């Protein structure tokens, strides 16, 4: 079936550090890939997406590239801020299936 | 533009009691979703509505869970009777259509069953 795997554990880093959160997927065909972010006390928000191989999604300084050969969609940001502290979820939607499959999420804590 | 509205935000009940959650989607959104999010996990779809029709309810435990979306706008998710394992966050989301990539999520209802 369709599934998403995110790296284990929370991520703690200092302000202005480089952030990477790994995401790999299993799916039939060519799914659309997403990163959602959940700030404390708020609902999930779409951060960025990519719908085909080699597409790069970007938003608010975050980027992720759809890598078909490694079935990955890693999230990166060059210089994080305290306001980036949140939970980040990788997700996929397979072609012909309107159901989103989410990873477990990663808590990111940015320390001033 | 108002986002997806859910109420209540928090609910504490004793096991075997009934509970209901309400969702008002973004105006004009035909598709409505209910998700279950357990602690430390990603959301899992319970049911999806296209207008007033439930088109994907394969993940809904129908022995105790029920949902409705009368008139294709607001929706209610009910649990009767609640069990300890139902403690979780219940998320509602909506999108323009079922095929749309972007789903807009509400803040969720955190249920605690004692």
pLDDT tens by residue, B32-77: 999 999 988 999 999 999 999 999 998 999 999 999 998 889 999 9
CB distance A12 to A79 below 8 Å: no
User: How far is Cα B54 from Cα B65, in angstroms, rounded to an integer?
Assistant: 14
Q: Quick check: B31 contacting A, CB < 8 Å?
A: yes
Residue A99 has pLDDT above 90, yes or no: no
Beta bridge partners of A5: A24
3-state secondary structure chain B: CCCCEEECCEEEECCCCCEEEEEECCCCCCEEEEEEECCCCCCEEEEEEECCEEEECCCCCCCCEEEECHHHCCEEEEECCCCHHHCEEEEEEEECCCCCCCCEECCCEEEEEC
Q: What is the pLDDT of residue B21?
A: 97
Q: Quick check: B4 contacting A, CB < 8 Å?
A: yes
CB-nearest partner of A44 from B31, B99, B105: B105
- Chain A CB contacts of B103 under 8 Å are 46, 100
User: What mean pLDDT is reported for chain B?
Assistant: 93
Q: Quick check: B58 contacting A, CB < 8 Å?
A: no
The pLDDT tens digits for A19-65 are 999 999 999 888 999 999 999 888 899 999 999 999 999 999 999 99
């Amino acid at each position: 079936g369709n599934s998403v795997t995110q790296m284990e554990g929370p991520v703690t880093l200092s302000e202005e550090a480089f952030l990477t959160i790994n995401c790999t997927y299993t799916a039939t065909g060519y799914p659309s890939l997403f990163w959602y972010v959940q700030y404390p006390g708020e609902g999930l928000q779409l951060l960025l997406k990519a719908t085909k191989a080699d597409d790069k999604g970007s938003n608010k300084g975050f980027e992720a590239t759809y890598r078909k050969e490694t079935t990955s969609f890693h999230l990166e940001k060059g210089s994080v801020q305290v306001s980036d502290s949140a939970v980040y979820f990788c997700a996929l939607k397979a072609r012909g299936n309107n159901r989103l499959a989410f990873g477990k999420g990663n808590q990111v804590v940015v320390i001033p | 533009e108002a986002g997806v509205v859910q109420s209540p935000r928090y609910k504490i009940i004793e096991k075997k009691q009934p509970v209901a959650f309400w969702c008002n989607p973004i105006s004009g959104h035909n598709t409505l979703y209910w998700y279950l999010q357990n602690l430390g996990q990603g959301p899992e779809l319970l049911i999806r509505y296209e207008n007033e029709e439930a088109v994907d309810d394969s993940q809904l435990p129908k022995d105790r869970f029920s949902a409705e979306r009368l008139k294709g706008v607001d929706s209610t998710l009910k649990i009767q009777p609640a069990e300890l394992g139902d403690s979780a966050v219940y998320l509602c989301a909506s999108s323009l259509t079922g095929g749309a990539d972007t789903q807009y999520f509400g803040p969720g209802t955190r249920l605690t069953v004692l």
